[in-house]
Amino acid sequence: MRNYLVFDAGGTFIKYALMDENAQILEKDKVSTPYFEDHGKEDFYRVLGKVVEKYREQIRGIAMSMPGMLNSRTGYCRTAGYLAYLAGTNVAQELSQRFGLPAVIENDGKCAALAEFWRGSLKGCKNGAVMVLGTGVAGGIILNGSLYRGTHFTAGEYSYMVHDPKRKFEMDGYWGMAGGAQGLAKAVARQTGEDWNTLDGYTIFARANQGDEKAIAGIRAFADELSAQIYNLNVLLDLEVIAIGGGISRQPLLLKSIEESVEKLVRENPLKQITPYVPEPKLVNCTFYNEANLIGALYHYMKMTDGDRLTRV
């Protein structure tokens, strides 16, 4: 059995796991990410190096999930989110040179989509999408049985989509701010009159599940906004299924609210006056949550380095 070291590098933590080729996690842990305002990429590689040395004798290669617009074939990062010190760097090449092991990288949202396509909610799906509701809105698109990366490797960067044209010169005018956890907090705060900064997903759903009508109304308003973008995505791509992930998506009330909003949008669509059919997306929860990026990064590594073996898994 072949083992690999897989990293999921985020702005706060770098999660890592020793994994076998069947995506079984043998060991896992996390370390703090060097903050970009106080550190440089050498600090980042130093943190990774300590982990690599721990597992060096057990692994065949390194796979990494990370934020940013990056070329997953060459390993070059144009941008890197909160890992800003990696922008303009060929991270895969530097990892390989520093640690003497094959290394590949892939965007974190696309890793989530690959995980669901390989072993999760999109398994066996020819055309589908994953939407991860986190700080922003990440995800990936599967078309014709393959991850669609786009001309500049930016396909699936939902956060950049215009949410409110009237606010296109404000951060809140884009889906990344309106569709993530911050957007949920603001939607509920509009109902309660509270400072949205004092609200988080746990508090909001705890209230809603106890029958708080204002919290429920805020969640429904948030779901109405999400449903419009989900509907648009499905009309554009004609998908079999859209899988919703991210921490807040674990709440059954959220998926139920989104499904109801989408169903109402389709049912009351005025286009039905001229056509009997309006495309309606099928929604499901993602199978993987905290481990999705690790699983997807491993899948990408195996496709890049040993695709024939992967097809037999």
pLDDT (tens digit, 0 to 9) for every residue of the chain, 313 residues total? Answer: 789 999 999 988 999 999 999 999 999 999 999 988 888 999 999 999 999 999 999 999 999 999 999 999 999 999 998 899 999 999 999 999 999 999 999 999 999 999 999 999 999 999 999 999 988 899 999 999 999 999 999 999 999 999 999 999 999 999 988 998 999 999 999 999 999 999 999 999 999 999 999 999 999 999 999 999 999 999 999 999 999 998 888 999 999 999 999 999 999 999 999 998 999 999 999 999 889 999 999 999 999 987 545 543 3
Q: Specify the pairing of strand 137-143 against strand 76-77.
A: unpaired
In this predicted structure, what is the pLDDT of residue 126?
Answer: 97
In this predicted structure, what is the pLDDT of residue 313?
Answer: 38
In this predicted structure, what is the pLDDT of residue 129?
Answer: 98
pTM here is: 0.92
In this predicted structure, what is the pLDDT of residue 130?
Answer: 97
